[in-house]
Amino acid sequence: MSAATDAFLAMLAAERGAARNTLAAYARDLAQAEEAIGDLAVAERDAVAGLAGKWAALAPASVARKASALRQFFGFAIDEGWRQDDPSAALPAPRARRPLPKVLGHDQIAALFTRAEAEAAGGEPKAVRLLALIELLYGSGLRATELVSLPLSAVPRDAPFLTVTGKGGASRMVPVGARALEALGRWLALRPQVPPSRYLFPSAKGGHFSRVRLFQLIKALAARAGIDPAIISPHVLRHAFATHLLEGGADLRVLQTLLGHADIATTQIYTHVDSARLVALVNSRHPLATRTTSD
């Protein structure tokens, strides 16, 4: 990549606290754009417009993400005095409709946990670890990265809360239910001490458990529980946590805090998933709900 894009990525990390995965995505998109049209700090407007043709086969969401990365870079380049013009208007602006999240039903959640609890009943460490992992995914709504990188110090002592470091390095307090606390206690009694690790879920080399392995174990558990592995992932359990809380009457702002969403608009997608409950809520709680048309 050019020195300009390197500087832009450094700014995202230092000033905006961008997460590692976010920086990697920006780096990839900017590098691919530079491969196509050269140094972005000096690229001509016509060359920028030509990216639309190179992105023609991509999904609208991918085009929107790439265009967003370039728009932010061009704004940064102007601020730094590297460019006098802003060619962002030449970039395509597809309307990417955000897909509704996959959500497991209550029966599927029950089947998954019934299987996990039965396997953990024998006290085998890997089975107990898996039970603790899914309890935290569904019981506290953690992201996969947040879960596998939890430090041992995050385990609650006096209060039933985890301290979680989310996207952009933002910290939040996440409540831990009685079931998850019990599963954590069982895991801590079996957690290996060698090699030494500061993580709650250590790897064999002393680092932390990997996201890839977490995906694999959850899909394998689903298959053993009679659930199609294609419809489940750590993120699907997080979605189930959010949707089932909303069904139970949770406030959207509270849900935003629990999920660690910076923008309430991200949380609002769950209102589409739970639209039936919202309609029933309006019909039962609106001031005019008890009035008849003849009143």
- Known catalytic residues? 143, 167, 235, 238, 261, 270
Q: Would you call the peptide bond into 195 cis, given omega within 30 degrees of 0 as the criterion?
A: yes
Listed in sequence order, the residues at least 6 apart from 35 whose beta carbon sits closer than 8 Å to its beta carbon are none
CB 116 within 8 A of CB 221: yes
CA 256 vs CA 136, 153, 242, 243: distances in Å = 17, 24, 9, 12
Nearest Cα residue to 17 out of 200, 271, 196, 262:
262
In DSSP terms, 162 is beta-bridged to 174
H-helix segments, the chain: 3-15, 20-37, 45-49, 51-54, 60-79, 106-120, 125-140, 144-148, 178-190, 211-224, 234-247, 252-259, 264-267, 269-273, 275-285
CA 219 to the chain's CA centroid: 18
Q: DSSP letters along 56-76, please? A: TTS-HHHHHHHHHHHHHHHHH
Interatomic CA distance for residues 73 and 88, integer angstroms? 9
